[in-house]
Amino acid sequence: MSNYTIIEPQTGTAFTIKKGQILTVSDPLGRQVSDMVLFNLQDKREKISAGKSMDFEETILLTKGNYLWSNRSRKMMEIIEDTNGRNDFLLAPCSPETFQIMYGNHEEHPSCLNNLRANLAEYGIGLDDIPTAFNIFMNVQFGPDGKLSVLPPTTVAGDRIRFRAEQDLIVCLTACSAEDSNGGTFKPIHYQVSDR
């Protein structure tokens, strides 16, 4: 992928894209996760919805051919390519409370939620308005009993997912901060916005 932008390990970024543009998110080294949230650029109260996306697409695992839907039951993006194939909407972005409550780690720890918050602040979007993210490349496993576990991503260097925007959008992306999501290694994420 040429002309990409680097999201450094354990950070995030926010930017806008126009309807019809293509967003490519790539894992340059392999085994890394990126959380993504979306807002309608013209009305930020319309945002990506995990429940609506699983409902309309009738699947937990979303890949090429699936759409990401908003809380107003409108399409926000189509997934047009996905070389890895494991993405979902189940678990909330890792947060300070994730590390405190689930891992007993009360020291300062970077998190996707804080990175989403920091980068969405410039768009006037606050913490309470951040929805469950689309978990790109996250390897969440679930059994018939519903029990959830997180394994390292199956991505290899260069794996990518491409989305076509169905609206003008604010996009916020992270390079995930949680040890559990990426096998204990913190890595960058690359992305690119293009017209086709």
CB atoms within 10 A of CB 3: 7
Select the span of 20-28, 91-99, 116-124, 153-161 touching its own copies (CB under 8 A).
91-99
CA distance 133 to 121: 16
- If one asks whether residue 132 binds its own copies (CB under 8 A), the answer comes out as yes
| Residue 176 beta carbon to its own copies: minimum distance, rounded to whole angstroms | 14
Q: In Å, how far are 24, 77, 134 from 127, measured between CA atoms? A: 26, 23, 17
| Residue 141 beta carbon to its own copies: minimum distance, rounded to whole angstroms | 9
- If one asks whether residue 60 binds its own copies (CB under 8 A), the answer comes out as yes
Among 88, 80, 100, CA closest to 35: 88
Task: Select from 8, 20, 65, 102 the one that contacts its own copies (CB under 8 A).
Answer: 102
Q: What is the identity of the amino acid at 166?
A: E
Contact present, 130 and 37 (Cβ < 8 Å): yes
* 84 DSSP 8-state letter: S
CA distance 43 to 5: 26
- If one asks whether residue 193 binds its own copies (CB under 8 A), the answer comes out as no
How many residues of this chain bind its own copies (CB under 8 A)? Answer: 36
Take residue 125 and report the two structure tokens written for it: 């979007």
Q: Which is nearer to its own copies, 28 or 96 (CB)?
A: 96
Task: Select from 1, 6, 148, 151 the one that contacts its own copies (CB under 8 A).
Answer: 148
Question: Where along the sequence are the contacts to its own copies (CB under 8 A)?
Answer: 45-46, 49-52, 54-56, 58-61, 71-73, 88-93, 95, 97-98, 101-102, 128, 131-132, 142, 145-149
